[in-house]
Structures are given as C-alpha cells and as structure tokens.
Amino acid sequence: MKQTNRIPRLGQWCLLLCTLFWGGVSFSDTLKPSEPLKLATSSWPPYIGRDLPNQGIAVEIVTEVFNRANIEIEVVMIPSWKEVREGMEVGVYDVILGTWYSDERARFHQFSEPFMMNKLSFIKRKGSGISFNTLSDLEGLMVATVNEYAYGEEFDSYPGIYQVKSNHVVQSLMNLVDKRADLALGDAWVMRHELKNYMPSRLKEIDVIQKPLSEKGLRIAMSLYNKKGAGILEVFNREVSKMKAEGVIDTIIASHKKHYE
C-alpha cells in the first residue's frame, strides 16, 4: 500500500501561514470589500444632512468607525428613506446609515449594535395640559407622526390614539402648532432642529414632555446580498465598543449637541 508523504504538504501550509503573517496580512483583511462600501442614507438633521458639519452626528460617528477599521466607504445621500430601503432590498447599496431595528426590517437587513441612542418624545403646545405616563393617557388624542418611522408595534397598534400622518418632520410640526394635532411624536433633537431652522418664531410655543415614549438604538443595517456583511458588522461593533470606552462617541455627540439644545 502506498504511503502518503505528509511532511512536504505540512511544510507548504507552514510556509503559507508565515507568508500571510510576516507579509503583514491579517485575517481581518479578508473582510475588506474589493470596492468601497456604499452607505445609503437620507436627510435627517441633526443626525444626517449634506449641509451639516461633517454631514451630521451619525455620519461623523459611522465614518470614524469605518476609518478605524480601515474599510473604505462611500456615503450616498438619497432623496427619501423609502428610496434608501428600496435600493437596499434589491442590492444597490451595501449599508443603511442611521436606522432603527424592527422585526419587519430584519427580514431584509442585518443590523449592527447601536452606536448611539435616540429618545422618541412627545411634543405639545405650551399650556395644553397634556401629560404622558402610559399610552392610556393619550386615548382620544390626535398625534402627528411621520411615514417610514419605526415607532414600535405597541404605539402603532394602540386603540384610541389617532395618528395624523405626513411625509416630513416639518409637516408634522405644522400639524401640531396649527392645532391639527394634539401632540407630535419624534426625536426631540430632530424636532428642535427643524423648528429652529424653519419656524424659529414658534419654538417658544412648544414643550417636550419629559418622559419619552421609548429609546431607540441608532444603527447601521447591512444588505443580505453582501456576503461579507456579517463579518463587517462584527468589526463595526468592535470598533464602536472601543470608541464608546474611549469617550470618542460622546465627544462627537457633544460637539453637535450644543447647537440644538
């Protein structure tokens, strides 16, 4: 019976491994895409916006994460979130920059861990007397909301709360201040930014209810078409964890936050 000589083959494997490591190649390099990752997003100031400093809080954080991971990216600003999601679902883009998790969205994307948190808050007209502790406090009220927001199943399905839908945050706020709705619901920073920029004279007319409806983790979502997606998300999550521990993310947030409070 012919005996197989295993020594030369073992030597070949040793030589290959030495070449990889001594040549400066790491296993993480195999995760690098051959072309820049296309990160699709849409205007959502102060987190995302073409004309904001460093294109907004979320874009600055995510860009820094990928820079640290040595992964090249291209941020693509799309006119609407609907077009962002449609492009992701057919594989035109690799990543959604700035999104909230929902079970429905998880059918089409892989999600990172949160890189920052958003508070979903109710905003009311001053002197309205409305308070919020549980959703039952809002029964019979009209709440201005925005299409494509993931408010959560509990709120969306709660009986007796009537949503006044619109396509933009500014429209939602106009419904509130013009008394077409009793409350508006959204991220408090976003609403303050939009009021300050488009209706500054009406800032004094609104109050943010202290207790938020919920806190949402802001994430990136990876296309299921990207075969390296799971590995890239693992690297992304690791870098985010390091940046949080080093205080880098808090510093970035603080540098933007002073303009919106």
User: What pLDDT, in 10s, does the model give residues 213-261?
Assistant: 999 999 999 999 899 999 999 999 999 999 999 999 999 999 998 766 6
Which single residue is written with the structure tokens 């201005």? Answer: 144
Cα–Cα dist 124/205, whole Å: 9
- Give me the chain's average pLDDT, please: 88
Label the pairing between strands 142-146 and 183-187: parallel
Instruction: Please say if the pLDDT value at position 183 is more than 90.
Output: yes
Q: Tell me, yes or no, if the two domains 31-117+216-257 and 118-215 fold the same way.
A: yes
Grade residue 24 by pLDDT with cuts at 50, 70 and 90: very low
What pTM was computed for the model? 0.82
Give the three-class secondary structure for 180. Answer: coil
Residues of the chain with pLDDT > 90, as a percent, come to: 70
CB 151 within 8 A of CB 213: yes
Task: Give the pLDDT of residue 33.
Answer: 62
Helix (H) or strand (E) run with residue 41 in it: strand 37-42
Average pLDDT of span 141-170: 93
CATH number of the 31-117+216-257 domain:
3.40.190.10
The DSSP-derived string for 113-143 is PPSEEEEEEEEEETT-----SSGGGGTT-EE
CB 45 within 8 A of CB 190: yes
Q: How many CB atoms lie within 10 A of CB 242?
A: 13
Task: Give the pLDDT of residue 258.
Answer: 73
Q: For residue 96, what are the contacts with CB-CB under 8 A and spacing of at least 6? A: 39, 40, 41, 84, 85, 88, 109, 220, 221
Q: How many CB atoms lie within 10 A of CB 59?
A: 23
Give the three-class secondary structure for 56. Answer: coil
- Specify the higher pLDDT residue, 188 or 21: 188
Q: Parse the chain into domains and list their residue ranges.
A: 31-117+216-257, 118-215
Instruction: Please say if the pLDDT value at position 6 is more than 80.
Output: no
- Specify the higher pLDDT residue, 139 or 9: 139
Give the three-class secondary structure for 178. Answer: coil
- 246-253 long-range Cβ contacts below 8 angstroms, 24+ apart: 248/64, 249/61, 249/115, 249/116, 252/57, 252/60, 252/61, 252/64, 253/57, 253/61, 253/116
Task: Give the pLDDT of residue 149.
Answer: 86
Cα–Cα dist 160/180, whole Å: 17
Identify the CATH assignment for 118-215 out of 3.40.50.720, 3.40.50.2300, 3.90.700.10, 3.40.190.10.
3.40.190.10
